[in-house]
């Protein structure tokens, strides 16, 4: 009889329970194979709409549509067993009304089997967050720099660099916490502001370009692997995967050109 070890997935409430405790580790993932590698080391995997830029070559996340998120969400759920999988709601799929957001979030949850969704926005999204949570959908919020609003903001600009901007951002973080979000991403904001928000709200803050004081951290996996051509200042490259891929491809091209590949160990002989 084979005994299979049952791996239990981390849940959204378990992430909330980590407020003020052991830091929450997370990364983006868009495919089954990176999800499988990261699964053991992260608490949640975010199928971020950054996949539009990282994987599909768009200039921003604005063109990303729901079907694309669902396709990548399915792959990440298939590749992982332990980490909570959170799927981003793309631009245009949730802003119109709470009921439109519910319809699209239900599609994401049913079709991918993920454990939660994420959406961008503060006070103006609080009603929608409350509506989704009351109907069984765990929501991670996202305030500070919200890349889906790039055309209104005018660029990928760090938020809260002057103190007169702080109150609005703090009010956003408090509003999404009060609305029932299980955690909130703080993206690209002045370090003391992120630390202050972390101290003042009841749900975990997940920093990206924010503060080491946040309850957890997230990075785009390709950025921290050293696979992205350009990375923002707040990224630390923990690997040199881009260089390693290029080296391997160059060696392969040379081997094909000088006919040293395939060698005899890579070919099949006749059996008789």
Chain residues in the site for ligand KIV (CB under 6 A): 28, 46, 48-50, 88, 142, 185, 187, 208, 218, 220
Tell the smallest beta-carbon distance from residue 108 to ligand KIV (Å): 14
Please identify which of the residues 120, 130, 170, 187 carries the catalytic annotation: 187
Is the CB of 157 or the CB of 167 nearer to ligand KIV?
157
Considering beta carbons, is residue 137 or 184 the nearer one to ligand KIV? 184
CB of 47 to ligand KIV, least distance (A): 8
Does residue 68 contact residue 99 with C-beta atoms inside 8 Å?
no
**Closest approach of Cβ 91 to ligand KIV, in Å?**
11
Q: Are 226 and 243 in contact (CB under 8 A)?
A: yes
Q: In angstroms, what is the minimal distance from the CB of 146 to ligand KIV?
A: 9
Collect all residues with Cβ–Cβ distance below 8 Å to 79 and sequence separation of at least 6: 29, 31, 32, 33, 34, 35, 36, 39
CB of 197 to ligand KIV, least distance (A): 15
Closest to ligand KIV by CB, 26 or 251: 26
3-state secondary structure of 97: coil
For residue 185, give Cα distances in angstroms to 36, 151, 214, 266. Answer: 23, 20, 9, 48
Report CA Rg, the chain: 21
Mark whether 213 is an active-site residue: no
**Cis check: omega of the bond before 134, within 30 degrees of 0:** no
Cβ at position 133, least distance to ligand KIV in Å: 19
Q: Are 120 and 148 in contact (CB under 8 A)?
A: yes
Which residue, 170 or 187, is less far from ligand KIV as judged by CB? Answer: 187
- Are the beta carbons of 10 and 83 closer than 8 angstroms? yes
Q: Which one, of 236, 165, 156, lies nearest residue 196 by Cα?
A: 165
Sort 95 into a burial class: Cβ within 10 Å, 0-12 / 13-18 / 19+: middle
The residue among 177 and 220 lying less far from ligand KIV, judged by its C-beta, is 220
Q: Find where tokens 């319809």 sit.
A: 103
By beta carbon distance, the residue nearest ligand KIV is 48
Q: Is the dihedral of CA 116, 117, 121, 125 positive or negative?
A: negative
CB contact at 8 A, 67 and 92: no
C-beta closer to ligand KIV: residue 99 or 151: 151
Q: Which residues does the annotation mark as catalytic?
A: 187
């Amino acid at each position: 009889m084979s005994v299979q070890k049952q791996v239990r997935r981390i849940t959204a409430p378990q992430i909330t329970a980590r407020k003020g405790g052991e830091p929450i580790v997370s990364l983006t993932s868009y495919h089954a194979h990176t999800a499988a590698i990261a699964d053991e080391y992260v608490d949640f995997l975010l199928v971020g709409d950054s996949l539009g830029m990282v994987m599909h070559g768009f200039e921003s996340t604005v063109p990303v549509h729901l079907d694309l998120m669902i396709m990548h969400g399915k792959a990440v759920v298939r590749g992982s067993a332990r980490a909570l999988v959170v799927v981003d709601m793309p631009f245009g799929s949730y802003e119109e009304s709470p009921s439109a957001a519910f319809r699209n979030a239900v599609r994401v949850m049913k079709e991918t089997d993920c454990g939660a969704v994420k959406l961008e926005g503060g006070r103006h999204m609080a009603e929608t967050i409350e509506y989704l949570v009351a109907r069984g959908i765990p929501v991670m919020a996202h305030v500070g720099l919200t890349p889906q609003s790039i055309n209104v903001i005018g660029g990928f600009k760090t938020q809260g660099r002057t103190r007169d901007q702080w109150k609005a951002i703090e009010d956003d973080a408090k509003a999404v916490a009060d609305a029932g979000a299980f955690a909130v991403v703080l993206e690209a904001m002045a370090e003391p502001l992120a630390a202050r928000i972390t101290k003042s709200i009841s749900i975990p803050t997940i920093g990206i370009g924010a503060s080491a004081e946040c309850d957890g951290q997230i990075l785009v996996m390709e950025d921290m692997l050293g696979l992205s051509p350009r990375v923002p200042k707040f990224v630390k490259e923990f690997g040199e995967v881009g260089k390693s891929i290029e080296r391997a491809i160059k060696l392969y091209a040379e081997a094909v050109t000088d006919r040293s590949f395939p060698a005899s160990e890579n070919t099949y002989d006749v059996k008789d």
